[in-house]
Amino acid sequence: MSEAPETIVCVECLGQARLMTRIPEDETMEPGTPLVYHCPDCYGRFDVIWEPE
């Protein structure tokens, strides 16, 4: 499993934060890639460093 989730649970309001970073489908993501999620409910922005398990 090496794909960034389209949505994550917002830590602020438990809503659905959506992935704002465009990831080309044919591209493998490197560990450490910064991803930006935005929550439409509380307008929160979350930066996540991609670290595949």
Residues that bind Zn ion (CB under 5 A): 10, 12-13, 15, 39, 41-42, 44
| For Zn ion, the closer CB: 16 or 21 | 16
- Tell me the closest approach of the beta carbon of residue 37 to Zn ion, in angstroms: 10
Distance CA 13, CA 51 (A): 24
| For Zn ion, the closer CB: 29 or 35 | 35
The closest alpha carbon to 12, from 35, 53, 36, 44, belongs to: 44
| For Zn ion, the closer CB: 25 or 47 | 47
Distance CA 37, CA 7 (A): 8
